[in-house]
Chain A
Amino acid sequence: MILGLRPPVAFAALLAGVAAVVIAIFNWKGAPVTSETFLVTTYIGLFLGALWAMYATGLVVVYTTTGVFNFAQGAIGVFSAFLYWELHVNRGWHSILALFVVVAMFAPALGVLLDVVIMRRLRTASLVVQLMVTVAIMVLLLSVVGDIWEADTPRRVPYLFGIENGIDLGPSQLPWHRLIVFLVAIAIAVAMRFLLRRTRIGTAMRAVVDNRELAALNGARPNVVSSTSWALGSMLGALGGILIAPELGLDPATLNNVVIIAFAAAAFGALRNLPMAVVGAMLIGLLRAHTGAWLDFGPDYRFAHLAVAPLILLFVVIALPQARLEVGRLAHHLRRHERYTKWWEGLIGCGVVILLAVAFSGGWLDFGVWDPGAWGSRELNSANEAMAFALIGLSLVPLIGWAGQINFAPLAFAGFGAFVYLKLAGDTGNGYWIIVVGLLCAPLGALVALPAARLRGLYLALMTMAFAQAMSLIFFPHSWVMPTIGVGRQFPHIELFGVTFDDRRGFFLVMVSVFAIFVYGLVLLRRSRYGRRWMAINDSQAAAATLGVPVVWTKVVVYAVSASMAGIAGVFWATVSGNVDSVQGFDLLIGFNIVLLVAAAGVSIPMAGIFLIFIPLFTGLGHRLEDAGNVGYLVTLLDIMTTYGPGLMVLGMVFNPRGAIFEMGRGFAPILPWRSDARAEIAAENAQKREPEIGELGIERPFTPEEVIAIDRRLGILDDVVPKEGYGTSRS
């Protein structure tokens, strides 16, 4: 204990304090600090903090009562803000009426709908599935907003009671809107705290997440409880979105990013402690306002003042105590089958992929009716983009698919890889440097994972998200990193084995080969002791630890491997985009889409990366159809598939967590002559279907005597408890 704080907390606080002082000293703007400007800045900070507190309250309420961390909280706010704009501004409804309809009617309905259709089924799902599904909802909601409310019309959500009216504070004035926001946020937090701690329904809500069966026995109705929390959480998201929209403008991406700050605030309260989450939100608000007012980071770090939230999250993660390894959460009988791909199957598969790619791109295939023809530059562009995406997607397979750890920052690692390559081989394009890129990205991955690896998986997910944001705010905009925007400097063509791959077809084949090599590497890795160990910590970290496996270190290693693959993929991605500037386009939302598509495909299977081909493929096909004069519904359909496809496919994970490729493979495998195991498995499953579960017996009708015998046999209940011969002599 140091000053009454646990050592990690004291350490993190010290670290944060030193960082704050150093940053402040080096970036002091020099503006005079008067008590007036100070006060005004403070009240802006508190107001911002109040808005984030509202989001964070919603997150904490849903998390403490359902165990699901809702990444879609921000998107619910975005949707509600647009709906409010539609009703209030576009249709001219009174603001109070519009507010009531959106917050008190639409939002709870949405929350209940989400709960009934999706969230309830996620209770026992793995963290990967839980997070992927909420992220998918986020992406879907944002797509819907983008489709209903076209981006080209400028929109504004007005302040409640106007910005001019308010209390006069001397130098400036405090508009009613901001005062109301502040009071409402505090009132909500207090009310929620009261609800959770002091009321019957609140107690039931908290009890259900710990032990559903026990709570149900005591009269709590789990389904009512979880619907209530989702309705509440959704209402808070809606209110936050509507109230923050006048400040930030009605832009989906900006409004949605607010939620990252709310994540940091919620983490400040260890995701469960409401008052601390509010304190965290206020702290971030104050820091944001005051850094904006007094500090100047110069043109190279022009977005740095926005990076307060990721930094806070980092310090929180350092301060949190080590998580206990959970036991007794495992559902036996998952009916999950893993089979090693044989090394020769891998070789054949990769060979086939390469041959197909060559044949297709060269136009050597002719199916008679449908002759794809040799690819033109547009098809090749799409194909190249697809392969680059696929490579990035592959980096997620060992991490998400095997070790069950989440990474929302594959593009940030890819960007870092592109940066390293540009620095090392920018002039020559010498391809051998790619190996060094892989080596340098690995420690970065380890560094990102290190602080959060000893915590629950959710924190790692949040950390990677914070990392992605910090990279795009601090690292990539720096002029030294990606030199001068607008000059149009080309990313170098890669040169390997004395050949410069400056034509698109050649480069496509290079990427297909790299893809095949990666897949084959993964096949071998999966069969190795490392692959086994990663699968093991995914199944049970506690058991792995009791066998002597260092769990934290193992996770860090997986992140390093994944980051290294993503970095190498980034070199190809940047080469495909050509322009150096584009490397900055590594934004979070594209990252989400990549993660979602890989997850939907079945992220434990290397070939899942191939699914990412859908993004450019659909766009490319759309172009083609348009060229052919086929504009109508087909193009729209493809458009819809590109926008909504990933999200919708991930929702499928609720019912089928193993992913699409897995199911396809299961249908396909029994046909292969050497896969007698697959045929046997199907047969066994059919046999099992006929034999009902013990728990299901006797519900519809009384047992027959044969069934009683069968049950006794399966439960191992014996007539005679005394063993015939004993177990040997007991020595005393």
Chain B
Amino acid sequence: MALLEAENVVMRFGGVVALDDASVDVDPGLVTGLIGPNGAGKTTLFNVVTGLLPPTSGRVRFDGVDITRAGVAKRSQMGIARTFQKLEAFNTLSAFDNVRVAVEKNHRTKWKHQRVNDVAHEMLGKVGLDDVSDVTVGTLPTGSARLVELARALACRPRVLLLDEPSSGLNEEETSSIGQLLLELVADKDNDLAVLLVEHDMSFVMGVCTRIHVLDFGKIIAVGTPMEVQGNEAVRAAYLGGDEFRAGYVGVGE
């Protein structure tokens, strides 16, 4: 059984059907991709999974437990963490304090015997932000603020990590080091971590993901390995004319 399962989720906003019977499952030990054109419903799915939106219908299961009705904070304590596509960093706090807020909430349950400041420094170090730890996040460039969100999510010691376009605002080098970090995190058996990655940068997605779900107009139109997904006709149709997809194809194909 998968660690995190979204089952037949429907999310309606008035007339707009953002998610239409979408099912996604995520396993520990690997990075699962979730791709799709703009407005496909990827962020909405994250909101449903983290509890920020109650789905119109469908279930969300975590570790076999039905959490469709659980509160946001409860899910976080169970081990679901995320970053946001539109930044939700604590702008008035320093990068260090952003992470500390997360550690402080979880240090008794998840970081036994470790000092708050040590954990916070470690997390900032992982994403490569040691040198700006005292800078107010509102004044950091977007890419760095995104990394602060990642460090903050890691500080919750999650079992499922949902990343919403982590590479936007990062340059090539930073993107590749994030990709490296993700692969290291899931490879570490102690973490027992599952990552669900939403990304538009196809070479990035194809490079790190083991399995990919493709969402289009709220429906899952394909699931499979990067190779399978790239060969899928429906996926090609959904991305018709999108250069991003071809670029990714080349990236893995060599």
**Is the pair B170, A716 in contact by a Cβ cutoff of 8 Å?**
yes
Shortest beta-carbon distance from B99 to chain A in Å = 10
**Is the pair A548, B73 in contact by a Cβ cutoff of 8 Å?**
yes
Q: Which residues of B contact A539 (CB under 8 A)?
A: 89-93
Interface size class of A (residues with CB under 8 A): 35 or more
Which of the segments A97-105, A320-328, A358-366 contacts the partner chain? A320-328
Q: Known: A324-B52, A718-B172. Contact between A540 and B76, CB under 8 A?
A: no
**Is the pair B91, A332 in contact by a Cβ cutoff of 8 Å?**
yes
**Is the pair A722, B210 in contact by a Cβ cutoff of 8 Å?**
no
**Is the pair B100, A540 in contact by a Cβ cutoff of 8 Å?**
no
Closest 6 CB pairs of A and B: A727-B207, A727-B179, A548-B76, A545-B72, A543-B88, A539-B90
Chain A 521-549 per-residue mask, 1 if CB under 8 angstroms from chain B, else 0? 00000000100110110111011111111
Contact with B101, one of A332, A335, A544, A718 (Cβ below 8 angstroms): A544
- Kindly state whether residue A692 has any CB partner on chain B within 8 Å: no
Chain A 704-718 per-residue mask, 1 if CB under 8 angstroms from chain B, else 0? 000000000100101
> Can you list 7 A-B contacts with CB-CB less than 8 angstroms, sorted by A residue number?
A327-B88, A338-B93, A338-B136, A539-B90, A547-B81, A547-B155, A723-B175
Shortest beta-carbon distance from A331 to chain B in Å = 8
Q: Which residues of A contact B82 (CB under 8 A)?
A: 546
**Is the pair A718, B171 in contact by a Cβ cutoff of 8 Å?**
yes
**Is the pair A547, B251 in contact by a Cβ cutoff of 8 Å?**
no
Given contacts A532-B101, A547-B155, 5 further A-B contacts (CB under 8 A): A337-B138, A338-B136, A546-B80, A722-B247, A722-B250
- Kindly state whether residue A330 has any CB partner on chain B within 8 Å: yes
Q: Known: A337-B139, A542-B52. Contact between A723 and B87, CB under 8 A?
A: no
Which residues of chain A (298-343) have a CB below 8 Å from chain B? 324-325, 327-328, 330, 332-338
Chain A 689-732 per-residue mask, 1 if CB under 8 angstroms from chain B, else 0? 00000000000000000000000010010100111011110111
**Is the pair B73, A549 in contact by a Cβ cutoff of 8 Å?**
yes
Give Cα A414–Cα B183 distance, bound, in whole angstroms.
Answer: 57
Q: Which residues of B contact A730 (CB under 8 A)?
A: 206-210, 226, 252
Give Cα A633–Cα B169 distance, bound, in whole angstroms.
Answer: 59
- Kindly state whether residue B225 has any CB partner on chain A within 8 Å: yes
- Kindly state whether residue A208 has any CB partner on chain B within 8 Å: no
Which of the segments B3-11, B60-68, B102-110 contacts the partner chain? B102-110
Shortest beta-carbon distance from B124 to chain A in Å = 15
- Kindly state whether residue B57 has any CB partner on chain A within 8 Å: no
Shortest beta-carbon distance from A301 to chain B in Å = 40
Q: Which residues of A contact B143 (CB under 8 A)?
A: 716
Chain B 180-195 per-residue mask, 1 if CB under 8 angstroms from chain A, else 0? 1001000000000000
Give Cα A501–Cα B206 distance, bound, in whole angstroms.
Answer: 76
**Is the pair B72, A325 in contact by a Cβ cutoff of 8 Å?**
yes
Output the nearest chain B residue to A339 by Cβ-Cβ distance: B136
Q: Which residues of B contact A540 (CB under 8 A)?
A: 88-90
- Kindly state whether residue A205 has any CB partner on chain B within 8 Å: no
**Is the pair A327, B86 in contact by a Cβ cutoff of 8 Å?**
yes
Shortest beta-carbon distance from A356 to chain B in Å = 30
Q: Which residues of B contact A328 (CB under 8 A)?
A: 84-86, 88
Q: Which residues of A contact B179 (CB under 8 A)?
A: 727-728
Give Cα A189–Cα B24 distance, bound, in whole angstroms.
Answer: 47
- Kindly state whether residue A551 has any CB partner on chain B within 8 Å: yes
Q: Is the interface of B mostly helix, strand, loop or mixed?
A: helix
Q: Known: A722-B203, A722-B251. Contact between A334 and B183, CB under 8 A?
A: no
- Kindly state whether residue A7 has any CB partner on chain B within 8 Å: no
Which residues of chain B (128-182) have a CB below 8 Å from chain A? 136, 138-139, 142-143, 145, 149, 152-153, 155-156, 169-172, 175-176, 179-180
**Is the pair B52, A549 in contact by a Cβ cutoff of 8 Å?**
no
Which residues of A line the B interface, CB within 8 A?
324-325, 327-328, 330, 332-338, 529, 532-533, 535-536, 538-540, 542-551, 684, 713, 716, 718, 721-723, 725-728, 730-732
Q: Known: A716-B143, A721-B247. Contact between A545 and B88, CB under 8 A?
A: no
- Kindly state whether residue B111 has any CB partner on chain A within 8 Å: no
Q: Known: A327-B47, A543-B84. Contact between A536 and B251, CB under 8 A?
A: no
Output the nearest chain A residue to B251 by Cβ-Cβ distance: A722
Output the nearest chain B residue to A331 by Cβ-Cβ distance: B91
Q: Which residues of B contact A684 (CB under 8 A)?
A: 139
Shortest beta-carbon distance from A628 to chain B in Å = 46
Contact with A337, one of B81, B87, B136, B254 (Cβ below 8 angstroms): B136
Give Cα A96–Cα B30 distance, bound, in whole angstroms.
Answer: 77
Shortest beta-carbon distance from A177 to chain B in Å = 43
Q: Which residues of B contact A327 (CB under 8 A)?
A: 47, 52, 84, 86, 88
**Is the pair A731, B250 in contact by a Cβ cutoff of 8 Å?**
no
Contact with B208, one of A533, A722, A727 (Cβ below 8 angstroms): A727
Q: Which residues of B contact A542 (CB under 8 A)?
A: 52, 72, 84, 88
Q: Which residues of A contact B47 (CB under 8 A)?
A: 327
Q: Known: A542-B88, A716-B171, A727-B183. Contact between A336 and B136, CB under 8 A?
A: yes
Select the residue from B92, B169, B250, B254 with max chain A CB neighbours within 10 A.
Answer: B92
**Is the pair A536, B104 in contact by a Cβ cutoff of 8 Å?**
no
Q: Known: A550-B73, A727-B207. Contact between A543 and B90, CB under 8 A?
A: yes
Interface size class of B (residues with CB under 8 A): 35 or more
Shortest beta-carbon distance from B12 to chain A in Å = 14
Give Cα A536–Cα B89 distance, bound, in whole angstroms.
Answer: 9
Shortest beta-carbon distance from B103 to chain A in Å = 9
Q: Which residues of A contact B149 (CB under 8 A)?
A: 543
Q: Which residues of A contact B84 (CB under 8 A)?
A: 327-328, 542-543
**Is the pair A532, B100 in contact by a Cβ cutoff of 8 Å?**
yes
- Kindly state whether residue B97 has any CB partner on chain A within 8 Å: yes
Q: Known: A330-B86, A532-B104. Contact between A335 and B139, CB under 8 A?
A: yes
Q: Known: A542-B52, A721-B203. Contact between A728 and B72, CB under 8 A?
A: no
Shortest beta-carbon distance from B100 to chain A in Å = 6
Give Cα A529–Cα B47 distance, bound, in whole angstroms.
Answer: 27
Give Cα A545–Cα B149 distance, bound, in whole angstroms.
Answer: 13
Contact with A723, one of B52, B172, B225 (Cβ below 8 angstroms): B172
Q: Known: A549-B101, A727-B208. Contact between A535 and B90, CB under 8 A?
A: yes
- Kindly state whether residue B204 has any CB partner on chain A within 8 Å: yes
Q: Which residues of A contact B142 (CB under 8 A)?
A: 332
- Kindly state whether residue B227 has any CB partner on chain A within 8 Å: yes
Contact with B105, one of A535, A547, A718, A727 (Cβ below 8 angstroms): A547
Shortest beta-carbon distance from B169 to chain A in Å = 7
**Is the pair A332, B138 in contact by a Cβ cutoff of 8 Å?**
yes
**Is the pair B91, A330 in contact by a Cβ cutoff of 8 Å?**
yes
Give Cα A167–Cα B142 distance, bound, in whole angstroms.
Answer: 69
Give Cα A486–Cα B152 distance, bound, in whole angstroms.
Answer: 60
Give Cα A551–Cα B51 distance, bound, in whole angstroms.
Answer: 14
Q: Which residues of A contact B93 (CB under 8 A)?
A: 338, 532, 535-536, 539
**Is the pair B76, A545 in contact by a Cβ cutoff of 8 Å?**
yes
Give Cα A718–Cα B176 distance, bound, in whole angstroms.
Answer: 13
Shortest beta-carbon distance from A415 to chain B in Å = 33
Give Cα A721–Cα B247 distance, bound, in whole angstroms.
Answer: 7
Which residues of chain B (205-254) have a CB below 8 Å from chain A? 206-210, 225-227, 247, 250-252, 254
Q: Which residues of A contact B88 (CB under 8 A)?
A: 327-328, 330, 540, 542-543
Q: Known: A330-B88, A542-B52, A726-B251. Contact between A731 and B138, CB under 8 A?
A: no
Give Cα A529–Cα B108 distance, bound, in whole angstroms.
Answer: 14
Shortest beta-carbon distance from B177 to chain A in Å = 9
**Is the pair B180, A728 in contact by a Cβ cutoff of 8 Å?**
yes
Give Cα A325–Cα B51 distance, bound, in whole angstroms.
Answer: 9
Give Cα A731–Cα B75 distance, bound, in whole angstroms.
Answer: 29
Q: Which residues of A contact B102 (CB under 8 A)?
A: 547-548
**Is the pair A548, B106 in contact by a Cβ cutoff of 8 Å?**
yes
Give Cα A451–Cα B228 distance, bound, in whole angstroms.
Answer: 53
Shortest beta-carbon distance from A717 to chain B in Å = 9
Shortest beta-carbon distance from B75 to chain A in Å = 8
Output the nearest chain A residue to B134 by Cβ-Cβ distance: A677
Give Cα A725–Cα B251 distance, bound, in whole angstroms.
Answer: 10
Give Cα A713–Cα B141 distance, bound, in whole angstroms.
Answer: 13
Give Cα A92–Cα B93 distance, bound, in whole angstroms.
Answer: 61
Give Cα A544–Cα B91 distance, bound, in whole angstroms.
Answer: 12
Q: Which residues of A contact B91 (CB under 8 A)?
A: 330, 332, 334, 336, 539
